[in-house]
């Protein structure tokens, strides 16, 4: 069971040796595409998630998720896994330019204020793979946005990113119930949660006042009217003074789980030292698709566990070259053959 808490609490040569080019080809050198630098981590079999017992959403979790649109899962990952994720963050070249590739991950910042963001982050190494079905939150995702008790029960990760943010970085407010896309919409009916998308934001460092904490407007996932003070996302209007918005402070290793339809963004980071580090995985129903068209590599799909592959590829391609007949809906058992 999770606990919930209050929200207030250069060289060019070196660069060429460390990053992939924009077309995805590996650069020469020991750290080309980040593979050599991360080799020990990438090839390591991660079983650390077994150290944490699978958590289940409680009735209080359900109440607060419905009421506020978010919950906090404290101490969500193991210290060793946390260290390994940070080790990979340490190895990622900060000289990576917008649009350039690091293996099968690409820098694609949402805007000029959000800092450095690597998409398709699951491909960054085994510790990121361990997060796919991590026992601290996977049952929450299934419960809130996995089409529970339906014929298409199951999950799909349609977006994953590793985010770095230094002083001055922020993310303007976005989403909300008012005219929200079905992709992130919040529904609860017939005793079941039907959220279009749930985000798991994992803090790899302490995030408190001045650190660029995620901001939310509790309950805004149900709003029927526009917020009068939203401002202009593309002009980078800050969320810090938006009426009704609060900062969500996290300790290192905590995870914030929220419905994407909740109005959210990132406060202005004023802390001069260090950087804000978070990993974000966006879970949704099995019938979803990659938001930006990223494809998981064959190597990754062959390397992960069968359960993880069901989340990364819940609906395998069905073509004349594949000798199988799709007789079941994703996430459901194959129906028994009718009696003769």
Q: Which domains does the chain have, with CATH numbers?
A: 57-312 (2.60.120.620)
Are 118 and 38 contacting, i.e. CB atoms less than 8 angstroms apart? no
The string of pLDDT tens digits covering residues 164-199 is 988 777 777 888 888 988 888 999 999 999 999 999
Question: Whole-angstrom Cα distance, residue 263 to residue 219?
Answer: 9
DSSP H helices in the chain = 12-18, 39-42, 59-68, 79-91, 126-129, 138-145, 298-303, 306-312
Kindly tell me if the per-residue pLDDT of 66 is higher than 60: yes
The structure's pTM equals: 0.82
Q: What is the pLDDT of residue 24?
A: 37
Per the DSSP assignment, residues forming a β-bridge with 281 are 160, 200
Question: Whole-angstrom Cα distance, residue 67 to residue 60?
Answer: 10
Radius of gyration (C-alpha) of the chain in whole angstroms:
20
Q: What is the pLDDT of residue 26?
A: 37
How large a percentage of the chain has pLDDT more than 90?
A: 59
pLDDT-derived band at 9, boundaries 50, 70, 90: very low
Q: In the numeric block, which tokens belong to residue 40? A: 């020990």
Question: Whole-angstrom Cα distance, residue 154 to residue 122?
Answer: 19
């Amino acid at each position: 069971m999770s606990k919930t808490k209050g929200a207030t609490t250069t060289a060019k040569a070196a660069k060429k040796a460390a990053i992939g080019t924009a077309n995805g080809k590996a650069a020469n050198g020991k750290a080309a595409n980040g593979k050599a630098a991360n080799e020990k981590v990438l090839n390591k079999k991660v079983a650390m998630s077994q150290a944490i017992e699978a958590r289940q959403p409680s009735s209080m979790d359900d109440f607060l998720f419905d009421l506020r649109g978010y919950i906090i899962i404290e101490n969500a990952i193991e210290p060793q896994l946390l260290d390994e994720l940070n080790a990979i963050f340490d190895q990622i070249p900060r000289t990576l330019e917008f649009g350039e590739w690091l293996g099968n991950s690409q820098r694609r910042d949402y805007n000029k204020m959000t800092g450095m963001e690597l998409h398709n982050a699951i491909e960054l190494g085994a510790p990121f793979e361990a997060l796919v079905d991590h026992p601290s939150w996977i049952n929450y995702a299934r419960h809130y946005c996995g089409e529970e008790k339906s014929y298409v029960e199951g999950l799909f990760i349609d977006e994953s990113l590793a985010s770095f943010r230094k002083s001055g970085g922020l993310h303007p407010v976005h989403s909300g119930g008012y005219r929200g896309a079905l992709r992130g919409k919040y529904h609860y009916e017939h005793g079941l949660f039907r959220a279009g998308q749930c985000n798991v934001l994992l803090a790899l460092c302490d995030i408190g006042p001045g650190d660029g904490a995620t901001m939310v407007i509790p309950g805004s996932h149900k709003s029927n009217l526009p917020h009068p003070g939203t401002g202009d996302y593309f002009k980078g209007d800050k969320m810090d003074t938006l009426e009704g918005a609060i900062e969500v402070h996290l300790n290192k290793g905590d995870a914030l789980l929220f419905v994407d339809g909740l109005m959210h963004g990132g406060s202005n980071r004023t802390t001069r030292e260090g950087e804000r580090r978070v990993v974000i995985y966006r879970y949704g129903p099995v019938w979803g698709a990659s938001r930006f068209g990223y494809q998981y590599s064959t190597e990754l799909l062959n390397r992960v566990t069968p359960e993880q592959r069901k989340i990364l590829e819940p609906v395998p391609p069905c073509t004349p070259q594949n000798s199988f007949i799709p007789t079941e809906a994703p996430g459901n058992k194959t129906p028994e053959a009718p009696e003769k």
